[in-house]
Amino acid sequence: MPKDQPGTRPNADAGANPVRPGRLKAPLKNRRLTFGHINIVDQAMLRKAVRGTIVGNTMEWYDIGVFGYLITTMGPVFLPEADPAVQTLFLLGTFAATFFARPLGGVVFGWLGDKIGRQKVLATTLLIMASSTFVVGLLPAYSLIGIWAAVLLVTLKLIQGFSTGGEYAGATTFVSEYAPDKRRGFFASFLDMGSYIGFAVGASLVSAMQIIFGQPAMEQWGWRVPFLAAGPLGLIAIYFRNKIEESPQFQATLDEQAAVASGAAARDENVSKGPGGVIKAYWRQILLAIILTAAANTLGYTLTSYMPTYLSEAKGYDPLHGTLLTIPVLVAMAACIPLTGKLSDRIGRRPVLWIGAVSTVVLAIPAFLMIAIGDVWSTLVGLALVAFPVTFFVPTLASALPAIFPTASRYGGMGISYNISVAIFGGTAPFIIQGLIGLSGNDMMPAYYLMLTSIVGAIAIFFLHESARRPLPGSMPSVDTTAEAHTLVAGQDENPHVDVNKMPFDDSYKSANSHPEA
């Protein structure tokens, strides 16, 4: 795309200190935004970017929904000679292995995403993710190859977890870098909307097949169908993802690094040093992101991955109804998530995150008391009370976390922090909660655990800098229209969201990257 077209001119990243060593080290009073500094978002490419990233998140959570609800069905297929409890334990362990592989994938793909580009890496992660899900449906059963069937299943789930480690971090990075500053929360929230829709679709497909064909047919052949469906779904998703171009902010970084003989802006050397350099430079941001992700995803995974088990084992629902009761809540929550994104753009990320954390503390006990009544209506109310804080907490992080890191290290920082947190706290939430119930004999332990993690998350929110309607670190402002660009330039002195001393001005920027006045 020519450099004088809208959507191609955000300046290159300069890390936490947005200037090159030896150049413009101190804030300069004569720094001024001009029309040529402003990135005018290409609306068509933005829509393609959002579609292309949503499909990957939907695919990821589709598999989580399918696998989670087929655990009792797949046990006899892969370990028919084992006790049912051992079968369940094996499948739960295989599910957990996916999360343990994610941090490594986050480190590798995050580093590659900062080095060679977001789009290439996201296309690769989606291809691996969809392929491994599809191949699970082709696996021979224990009756054909013995224990090797179980070994192959674990191997495929590890591969899938490795690829998934680069998916969400890259998707949030990609959309955040494409979106205009004032609507970043809205567009980033669609990623989590896709996640919960994918989960609901996977769970609904499994439930429908269980109702239509029955358990014997599911164990014989039906379990394969949801995994095989990932093949055509994956091809569609890859098609959409290959239609998008590199994010404009990161492309500007690549362009400047290629044009400047010195080769990098301040702190860009952390990318070339690999994940260790990113951790050393941004360990505070990584720690903050880990804590926030832990609080939000403990809520999210409790609702999606644990509540069906809780309803079945603690409240007497059969497994099918335990699943079906969660689906309408997930669909309703997914429909509300873009509204949360809009709200975070209007009032700020921190206030919306505060709503999520505080409402968890307030609603957790009433939610589980309602579920304890045991009626369908009260159970749905209880699930809705759990879903309420999730709707505010989880999707807001999709725009808040990428704004913690500068462009040159954003994918790597997100990949490390998000996946470590999900592996330790998100994927283990069902195990920890079930263990707490077992040790205490108290069915209210899930409420207490959610309250504890949200209190810790609230402390982290206190240290989070507000990023709504502000340029991403290491990037110039992004707007929707030419008129907005002119307004921003004219009112930069009075605009509380504009701080020119934090922007990556460069001596060569205007002549090399400016576009014609309009």
In whole angstroms, what separates CA 196 from the centre of its chain?
11
**Helix (H/G/I), strand (E/B), else coil: 478:** strand
| pLDDT at residue 84, rounded to an integer | 81
Asked if 294 contacts 286 with a C-beta cutoff of 8 angstroms, the reply is no
For residue 263, give both structure tokens.
């080769």
**Mind listing the domains of the chain with CATH numbers?**
39-248+273-463 (1.20.1250.20)
- The Cα–Cα gap between 156 and 230 comes to 14
- The Cα–Cα gap between 163 and 132 comes to 9
- The Cα–Cα gap between 311 and 382 comes to 11
27 torsion bin: left (phi>0), alpha (psi -120 to 50), beta (else)? beta
DSSP 89: H
For residue 168, give both structure tokens.
């969400």
Per-residue pLDDT of the chain (518 residues; tens, 9 = 90+): 444 444 444 443 333 333 333 333 434 456 788 888 898 998 888 888 888 889 888 888 898 888 878 887 898 899 998 888 788 778 878 887 888 889 999 989 988 888 887 888 888 998 999 999 999 999 999 989 999 999 999 999 999 999 988 888 888 888 998 899 999 999 999 999 999 999 899 988 988 998 899 888 998 999 999 999 999 988 888 888 888 877 666 666 656 555 544 444 444 555 555 788 888 899 999 999 999 999 999 999 889 878 887 887 778 787 677 778 888 999 999 999 999 999 999 999 999 999 999 999 999 999 999 999 988 999 999 999 999 999 999 999 999 999 999 888 898 899 999 999 988 887 778 778 878 888 888 989 999 999 999 999 999 999 999 999 999 988 889 999 999 999 999 998 889 888 887 787 754 444 333 444 44
- The Cα–Cα gap between 29 and 24 comes to 11
The string over 248-272, giving b where at least 16 C-beta atoms fall within 10 Å of a residue's C-beta and e elsewhere, is: bbbbbbbbbbeeeeeebbbbbebbe
Q: Which residues contact 91 (CB under 8 A, 6 or more apart)?
A: 71, 72, 74, 75, 78
- The Cα–Cα gap between 384 and 462 comes to 27
| pLDDT at residue 247, rounded to an integer | 67
Q: Which residues contact 501 (CB under 8 A, 6 or more apart)?
A: 27, 28, 31
Asked if 405 contacts 471 with a C-beta cutoff of 8 angstroms, the reply is no
Residue by residue, DSSP assigns 191-253 as HHHHHHHHHHHHHHHHHHHHHHHHHHHIIIIITHHHHHTHHHHHHHHHHHHHTPPPPHHHHHH
| pLDDT at residue 257, rounded to an integer | 53
- The Cα–Cα gap between 225 and 205 comes to 9
Asked if 390 contacts 292 with a C-beta cutoff of 8 angstroms, the reply is no
One-letter amino acid at 443 equals D
**Helix (H/G/I), strand (E/B), else coil: 40:** strand
Read off the pTM.
Answer: 0.84
For residue 84, give both structure tokens.
């049912």
Q: Which residues pair with 39 in a beta bridge?
A: 478
| pLDDT at residue 507, rounded to an integer | 43
| pLDDT at residue 6, rounded to an integer | 42
Q: What radius of gyration do the chain's Cα atoms show? A: 24
| pLDDT at residue 116, rounded to an integer | 81
Q: Which residues pair with 479 in a beta bridge?
A: 40
Backbone φ and ψ of 39, nearest 5°: -90, 120
Asked if 158 contacts 101 with a C-beta cutoff of 8 angstroms, the reply is yes
For residue 232, give both structure tokens.
């055509």
Number of residues written out for the chain: 518
| Dihedral sign computed on CA atoms, order 418, 419, 425, 428 | positive
Report how far apart, in Å, the C-alpha atoms of 119 and of each of 63, 172, 382, 428, 431 are: 22, 12, 40, 30, 35
For residue 104, give both structure tokens.
């490594």
Q: Which residues pair with 478 in a beta bridge?
A: 39
Q: What is the 3-state secondary structure (H, E, C) of 140-166?
A: CCHHHHCCHHHHHHHHHHHHHHHHHCC
DSSP 469: T
- The Cα–Cα gap between 112 and 489 comes to 35
Asked if 245 contacts 120 with a C-beta cutoff of 8 angstroms, the reply is no
Q: Which residues contact 299 (CB under 8 A, 6 or more apart)?
A: 356, 360, 386, 389, 390, 393, 394, 450, 453, 454
